[in-house]
Amino acid sequence: MPRDFPFSQALENMGDTAGFAGSFFRNLFKKGFEWEELSRQAYMIGYKSIGIVVLTGFILGFVLTLQTLPTLKQFGTESFAPGMVSVSMIREIGPVIVALICAGKIASGIGAELGSMNVTEQIDAMEVSGANPMQFLVVTRILACIIMIPLLTIVADGVGMVGGYAGMNLAGDMTLQLYFSKSFDALEFSDLVPAVIKTVFFGFTIGFVGCYKGFHSNRGTESVGLAANTAVVTASVCIILIDAIAAQVTNIIVYTNQ
């Protein structure tokens, strides 16, 4: 094996990824868009994931409140708990945790589905019959992820604040009106916009990685499971990297405007 084989393999993978991304953007604006398939994928990705997102959001807000209240009470600042929970959920915890959960559920599902279609040569059959598998299978799934991941994150953030209210009243006593008043007073425009923008990138990453791994799976049956597994790992790592970049960019913009 040549000494530069890993480097050559990495360059080849980068080229394949760039080519796949270029094919996605080219097919994005072609005529005959599959609106019905986009609606079906949005339903599968969004509605089928709402249960686990709601449960996760509630538990995150509930646990975050219970874990921080004892420390805040030591300094007599337990009234800051609602604002802390809302800012933490909306700015960081909600988007990242929801994206990681969706990476495990959605990216793996897309990778396994398209991988099985690739193994059974259904994608080749679509091309032979004159259909456009890139537009029908890839564009619709990526767009559905771009649309639904931000919506799922908003739901998780709202439920997380409700969970924080439940945790607040389990350990203390605060009215619902006062709790949400303090929660929204702590939020700023600079907290909301970057959080929403990065969830769009999270959605693109989840859909793109799942479709890419499924399309480029090998012909063996074991490649279906491998495509699903690598889709989860790759999407999760990309989400963490995007979040780190987004945090740095947000800090630079905030400090520049101060």
Return the pLDDT at 243.
93
Confidence class for position 254, pLDDT limits 50, 70, 90? low
When mean pLDDT is compared over 20-24, 26-30, 238-242, the highest value belongs to 238-242
Helix-helix angle 176-185:140-171, to 10 degrees: 130
Chain-centroid distance, C-alpha 80 = 29
Average pLDDT value for the chain:
87
Distance CA 163, CA 62 (A): 4
Residue 200: band (very low, low, confident or very high) from pLDDT cuts 50, 70, 90: very high
Average pLDDT over every residue of 37-56:
92
Q: What is the 3-state secondary structure (H, E, C) of 99-163?
A: HHHHHHHHHHHHHHHHHHHHHCCHHHHHHHCCCCHHHHHHHHHHHHHHHHHHHHHHHHHHHHHHH
Under the banding of pLDDT at 50, 70 and 90, the label for residue 1 is very low
**Residue-wise pLDDT tens digits, 120-166:** 888 888 888 878 888 889 999 999 999 999 999 999 999 999 999 99
Summarize the confidence of residues 20-27 as an average pLDDT: 88
Question: Can you read off the two tokens belonging to residue 156?
Answer: 């998780």
Would you state the pLDDT for residue 29? 82
Domain parsing of the chain, residue ranges: 35-257
Whether 218 shows a pLDDT value over 70: the answer reads yes
What pTM, to 2 d.p., does this model score? 0.89
Lowest mean pLDDT among 8-17, 102-111, 194-203: 8-17
- The answer, yes or no, to whether residue 5 has pLDDT greater than 70, is no
